[in-house]
Chain A
Amino acid sequence: MYRLITDDSTAHNSTKSAKITQSVVSVNASNIKVYYNNVPIEKDTIYTLAFWAKVDVLEGKQRELDVYAQTLDDIPKVVFLRTITLDSVDWKEYVNVFTVPKGVEGNVMISLLVGLSNVDFWIDDFRFFEGEPTDEIKAGETPVNPTNKIPVSWGQIKSLR
């Protein structure tokens, strides 16, 4: 038995998070998959996949899972696979940086393969973006450096009139 729900009893930032509950351990991690579909990627490009998580202190102090990305082809290609250990009962950030292999592009499924542990956990502020962690455009920030962009140029033209 497994479940993914939004939970307003705890959150890293704001008021809600997602809780993954699981009552039985599977024989392999991929037997239970938490996923987000149709995320576009480009070949030979660096991406960061980052999220905050915490394990349920009532069930344990750590749990293992695989962070995984695969193409949506009939025969899926592995884009990224890393086993990590969630090791905090308080909110902690987990950051994964990888380069998409040459020749692989299109849309992918981002997922957490969680079958190997029945320790419940929460995730929040899940992000996937092109570039290194320092390239992240935080929520509320403008996605464009205004230097040399049209509004700035127009302001300069107006100041010259």
Chain B
Amino acid sequence: MNIIIISSMFMLGAGAFFRGENRIGNSTFEDDFVGDLPLKWGIESGG
């Protein structure tokens, strides 16, 4: 007998988050940087 397990993540759909799940990646600044610049973060001046 074949058992098919559908992951709960798939059923929630792409981009869905669990309650309590961190929605901001790279929050520890350990990965995802180029040189010394955090890749997903930015800084800008508005004036």
* Majority SS at the chain B contact face: loop
Give A136-161 as 1s and 0s: 1 = Cβ < 8 Å from B's Cβ atoms: 11010001100001110010000000
Interface size for B (C-beta < 8 A) is 29
- Nearest residue, chain A, Cβ from B24: A128
Bound Cα distance from A126 to B26, whole angstroms: 8
B44 touches A35 (CB 8 A): yes
Residues of B within 8 A of A37 (CB): 42
Bound Cα distance from A64 to B41, whole angstroms: 20
Bound Cα distance from A128 to B20, whole angstroms: 8
A130 touches B17 (CB 8 A): yes
Q: Which of B10-47 contact A (CB under 8 A)?
A: 15, 17-24, 27-30, 33, 36-38, 40-47
By size class, the interface of chain A is 35 or more
Bound Cα distance from A3 to B35, whole angstroms: 13
Residues of A within 8 A of B30 (CB): 14-16
Q: Which of A13, A17, A36 counts the most B-chain CB atoms under 10 A from its CB? A: A36
Given contacts A32-B45, A33-B46, A36-B40, contact A18 B20 (CB under 8 A): no
- Nearest residue, chain B, Cβ from A17: B29
Given contacts A6-B29, A125-B27, A128-B22, contact A34 B17 (CB under 8 A): no
Q: Which of A1-29 contact B (CB under 8 A)?
A: 2-7, 11, 13-18, 20, 26
Q: Would you list 28 pairs from A and B whose C-beta atoms are within 8 A, ordered by A residue? A: A4-B41, A5-B36, A6-B36, A11-B28, A15-B30, A17-B29, A18-B41, A26-B47, A31-B45, A32-B46, A34-B42, A35-B44, A36-B24, A36-B41, A40-B23, A51-B27, A126-B24, A128-B22, A129-B20, A130-B17, A130-B19, A130-B21, A130-B23, A135-B19, A137-B20, A139-B22, A150-B5, A151-B5
Taking Cβ atoms with an 8 Å cutoff, the residues of B that contact A are: 3, 5-6, 8, 15, 17-24, 27-30, 33, 36-38, 40-47
